[in-house]
Amino acid sequence: MNDYFFLSLGILCAVIGGELFVRGAVGLGYWARISPGVIGATFAAFATSSPELSVSINSALAGSPKIALGDALGSNVVNIALVLGAALAVSGIQCPRDSVKRDFPLALFIPVITGLLCLDGELSRLDGLAMLTVFFLWLTATAVAARKQRGAAEEPHHDQQGWKILLTCILGLGFLIAAGNFIVTGAKGIAVSFGIDEFIIGATIVAVGTSAPELATTIIAKLRGHDEIGLGTILGSNIFNGIFIVAIAASIHPIRIAWNEVAIALAFGLTAVALTYPPSNGFITRKRGVLLLSLYAVYLAMVFQGKVS
């Protein structure tokens, strides 16, 4: 009964947190005179990736950094193929031009970069530092874009109180992070009671649970007509997972890798981003969402067949 309570509580927290965060992000973007999509790609992405960051640091310090790599790569597949796929299946999304130029190319090349660094069988501390360098270059480019937006935007009305808006964002993110923890706890307990294999629980339920913040944010942003927030959060989260969180783990403890353990996750991650990459007009259609959900179904089938280790 406690497991069902935690699952229900997690869903409730996701709804509340998503509503508060989307409302706060829109207000914060207006008050700070920057795009809500930039807020999603940075502030929200870092916060919603905090479960993966915690796993990364703890597993690396414990001498098991492969856990961090697997969690980050698996979460990236879920973020794009399931979360963004579900949002696109509702309706298409217009991608901001700056995101097409800055965020999508990096999200697309992260699996390629990771794969190349894994070819020698190890992600070394030097590899981790190289990935961190790429991450901070992207973060600098994002900050420059935000500064340009701020310079071009009109001054906000004086009745906009930044601290109230920021508090709304923080409360929303707090609820979203709690939602992920509650959903993982409840769903894992329910799955164990039905005798489901622990690996399958980790590869499916835990991965979806840690992506609950991104899922709630994306769906509610879509329903409220603020696509750029959900899309920015998804892309930013993938960038944080792929070249910040993995890099932190490798910098703490080198990661020994068997190619067959990462190849499928990298291939699915690359395919998912490629299927999402917007055309010249920036509009991502509903058909892409159906393709992404189909891709995730194939990924799940391979997990259940024991082909993903």
Q: Is 142 within 8 Å of 273 (Cβ atoms)?
A: no
Band of pLDDT at residue 271, cut at 50, 70 and 90 = very high
Alpha carbons 160 and 158: distance in angstroms, whole number: 5
Residue range 109-137: average pLDDT?
A: 91
Q: Is the residue at 50 inside a domain? A: yes
Side-chain half-sphere of 156: how many Cα atoms within 13 Å? 16
Burial of 171 (0-12, 13-18, 19+ CB in 10 A): middle
Alpha carbons 222 and 91: distance in angstroms, whole number: 8
Q: Which domain holds residue 57?
A: 36-153+198-304
Q: Is the residue at 75 inside a domain? A: yes
Which tokens sit at 108?
A: 């697309």
**pLDDT tens profile 176-197:** 778 767 876 777 777 777 776 5
Q: Is the residue at 64 inside a domain? A: yes
What pLDDT was estimated at residue 159? 53
Q: Show the beta-strand stretches assigned E in 64-157.
A: 93-94, 122-123
64/83: higher pLDDT:
83
Assign residue 231 the CATH number of its domain.
1.20.1420.30
Alpha carbons 255 and 261: distance in angstroms, whole number: 12
Q: Is 233 within 8 Å of 45 (Cβ atoms)?
A: yes
Q: Is the residue at 135 inside a domain? A: yes
Q: Say if residue 256's pLDDT is above 80.
A: yes
**pLDDT tens profile 196-249:** 655 466 556 666 776 777 777 788 877 777 777 788 888 888 898 889 988 998
Q: Say if residue 85's pLDDT is above 80.
A: yes
Distances (CA, A) of 269 to 58, 62, 145: 24, 27, 26
Domain count, the chain: 1
Q: Say if residue 272's pLDDT is above 80.
A: yes
Which tokens sit at 213?
A: 């913040």
Of 119, 108, 136, 105, nearest to 244 by C-alpha is 136
HEC string for 158-180 = CCCCHHHHHHHHHHHHHHHHHHH
What pLDDT was estimated at residue 136? 92
Sequential DSSP letters for 213-235: HHHHHHHHHHHTT-HHHHHHHHH
Q: Say if residue 309's pLDDT is above 50.
A: no
Q: Is the residue at 172 inside a domain? A: no
Residue range 239-267: average pLDDT?
A: 85
Q: Cβ atoms within 10 A of the Cβ of 118, count?
A: 20
Q: Is 118 within 8 Å of 250 (Cβ atoms)?
A: no
